[in-house]
Amino acid sequence: MKLIQVRKKILNIETTYHEGGEAAQTPLQIGVIAVVVNNPFAGRFADANELAEFVKQGRNLANEMVPELVAALGGASNIETYGKGAIVGVNGELEHGATWHEAGGWAMRAVLTNAKSIVPASKFVGSAGSRLHVPLHHIEACYVRSHFNTAEVSVSDSPRPNELLFALAMSTGPRVHERLGGLRVEQISVGDGQR
């Protein structure tokens, strides 16, 4: 039984040239791909088995989304950060958004083969037009502070009460003009996804 039905898909690439001061030598690109899907569990309690099947189908959906986002950012070798998030329409529950943790995260890590760090996430129950702030951090080591950032996505008519908005986000580098210290990319050495 097909549980996921996509109503719309959004792909957005934001390019930042400067944040005051001189223009960056390499502009930062932040990309978000999001889908608005029906929530087959809206208005009722779903057990773990039903949710597990939804996760499985969500992984198939994410496997289609990731290559499109990666291509829009110029290829896997350009990706330095990632994150994921969900907005649950008001007839759903937070656990419906949590189905995106495994589905979205593993799909990104399968394509970004050097990714070791956990994929950060955000989720909440909200109404159409809510803004989702997707946390971003470095794909190899989550303590690389220069790459802490946020991607935003909002769709004016989504999610409707019986829908979900699922998003994946990536960027091509650190914040423009980052200069507040912490672990540097060239200092990543442990290989544990943290340092």
Query: pLDDT tens digit string along 32-68?
Result: 999 999 999 999 999 999 999 999 999 999 999 999 9
- pLDDT (0 to 100) of residue 174: 96
pLDDT above 80 for 156: yes
Domains of the chain: 6-17+27-187 (3.30.1330.110)
Cβ atoms 5, 61 nearer than 8 A: no
Give the Cα separation of 100 and 85 in Å (integer).
Answer: 7
pLDDT above 90 for 192: no
Query: pLDDT tens digit string along 78-94?
Result: 999 999 999 999 999 99
- pLDDT (0 to 100) of residue 20: 85
- pLDDT (0 to 100) of residue 111: 96
- pLDDT (0 to 100) of residue 85: 98
pLDDT above 80 for 1: no
User: Tokens for 7?
Assistant: 């109503």
3-state secondary structure of 149: strand
pTM of the model: 0.95
Express the helix, strand and coil content of the chain in percent, nearest 5 each: 25, 30, 45
> Who wins on pLDDT, 191 or 176?
176
CB-based burial, 124-162: b 16+ in 10 Å, e otherwise: ebbebebebebbbbbbbbbbbbbbbbbbebbbeebbbee
